[in-house]
């Protein structure tokens, strides 16, 4: 038996060390995802170097009408009548956040939620088919209804299935068995849940409880409420973030109603809400969670 021993050239080792040191000394590269949520609550985005944040960012207007695999499901008249052009994105900079699960050493990634103009020129009206635009319009109508200033406090919980690579390039449930709320069943996915809760807290999604549900690989996560558009953004952030965190682990998280077909238990969710009006006496005391807690102290149901 002949044993060969490889030796690294000192010059190569020196070069590699110098390159590593130089990379560590470089400033962090910053990027921003200009993100639109489509009809299916799927995140669509363009990643832009932060130095170009004030430049115009455009996106194909028909993208919001496509399904999970870019298959056109239905086309809104607002898009079809315009000829399906690129529309300029309108970022809401109050939603800009660092996404901890998307960052890595030397790279910082932020996300800002956007609407779209129904045209490429400044002054164009907004694309009324974008879900976030529809949501904002409805919240404005609620606030102006009868001059009451109503706001909606929204919370709830979502169910989803976590999967791991299975046989024949398919996917299998992350854990087997059906034992809802059982501590030993919960523990099969807690490492994933711990990462999820930590990263979600950093983006303002205040997770209240985490547990296994009634399906193989199925989890149920409840979160504290927020007012208005913040609640809608929170839900979109949770869904996309959960899927990306799972993907980073070599897993897949699906919010599909039945990711394994008609067999088994389906995923769902609860949409809980209440209407609040301004408290003239400033004596509202109903409980609320997360970022809504401070505001709830100034409102009454």
Residue 230 has pLDDT above 70, yes or no: yes
pLDDT digit string, tens, across residues 66-112: 777 766 666 666 666 666 678 899 999 999 999 999 999 999 999 99
Q: Work out the number of other CB atoms within 10 angstroms of the CB of residue 61.
A: 27
Q: Are 31 and 114 in contact (CB under 8 A)?
A: no
Phi and psi at 13, nearest 5°, equal -60, -40
Query: What pLDDT score was predicted for residue 293?
Result: 41
Residues of the chain with pLDDT > 70, as a percent, come to 78
Q: Are 202 and 279 in contact (CB under 8 A)?
A: no
Q: In b/e form, how buried is each residue of 22-59, taking b as 16+ CB within 10 angstroms?
A: eeeeeeeebbbbbbbbbeeebbbbeebeeeebeeebeb
Residue 174 has pLDDT above 60, yes or no: yes
SS3 of residue 48 by DSSP: strand
Residue 231 in tokens: 């609640």
Left (φ > 0), alpha (ψ -120 to 50) or beta: where does 7 sit?
Answer: beta
CA-to-CA dists, residue 284 to 127, 144, 277, angstroms: 37, 21, 10
Cα angle value 127/256/247 (rounded, 5°): 90
- The residue ranking higher by pLDDT, 138 or 278, is 138
Residue 174 in tokens: 């992350």
Q: Work out the number of other CB atoms within 10 angstroms of the CB of residue 117.
A: 19
At 127, the pLDDT band (50, 70, 90 cuts) reads confident
First to last CA, the chain: 83
**Closest to 30 in 3D by CA, of 89, 98, 92:** 98
**Closest to 42 in 3D by CA, of 215, 201, 219, 244:** 244
Phi and psi at 228, nearest 5°, equal 55, -135
Pairing mode, strands 107-116 and 151-165: unpaired
Helices (H), the chain: 10-25, 77-80, 131-144, 183-186, 190-202, 229-248, 292-296
Helices (H), 225-301: 229-248, 292-296
Give the span between the Cα atoms of 185 and 129, in whole angstroms: 42
pLDDT digit string, tens, across residues 192-207: 999 999 999 999 999 9
SS3 of residue 230 by DSSP: helix
Average pLDDT of the chain is 83
Over range 234-260, report the average pLDDT. 95
Residue 9 has pLDDT above 50, yes or no: yes
């Amino acid at each position: 038996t002949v044993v060969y021993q490889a030796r690294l050239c000192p010059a190569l080792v020196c070069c590699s060390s110098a390159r590593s040191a130089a990379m560590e000394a470089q400033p962090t590269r910053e990027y921003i995802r200009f993100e639109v949520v489509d009809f299916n609550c799927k995140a669509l985005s363009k990643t832009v170097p932060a130095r170009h944040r004030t430049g115009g960012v455009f996106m194909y207007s028909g993208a919001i009408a496509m399904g999970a695999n870019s298959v056109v499901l239905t086309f809104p008249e607002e898009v079809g009548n315009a000829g399906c052009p690129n529309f300029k994105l309108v970022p809401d900079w109050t939603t800009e956040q660092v996404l901890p699960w998307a960052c890595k050493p030397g790279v910082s990634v932020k996300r800002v939620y956007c609407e779209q103009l129904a045209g490429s020129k400044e002054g164009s009206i907004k694309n009324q088919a974008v879900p976030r635009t529809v949501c904002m319009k409805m919240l404005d109508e609620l606030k102006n209804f009868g001059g009451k200033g109503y706001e909606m406090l929204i919370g709830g919980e979502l169910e989803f299935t976590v999967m791991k690579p299975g046989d024949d390039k398919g996917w299998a449930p992350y854990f087997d068995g059906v034992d809802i709320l059982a501590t030993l069943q919960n523990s099969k996915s807690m490492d994933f849940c711990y990462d999820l809760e930590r990263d979600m807290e950093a983006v303002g999604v205040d997770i209240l409880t985490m547990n296994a549900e009634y399906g193989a690989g199925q989890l149920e996560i409840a979160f504290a409420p927020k007012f208005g558009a913040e609640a809608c953004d929170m839900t979109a952030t949770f869904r996309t973030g959960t899927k990306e965190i799972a993907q980073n682990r070599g897993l897949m998280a699906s919010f599909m109603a039945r990711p394994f077909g008609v067999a088994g238990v389906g995923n769902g969710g609860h949409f809980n809400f209440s209407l609040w009006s301004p408290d003239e006496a400033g004596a509202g005391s109903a409980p609320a969670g997360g970022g809504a807690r401070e505001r709830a102290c100034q409102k009454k149901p």
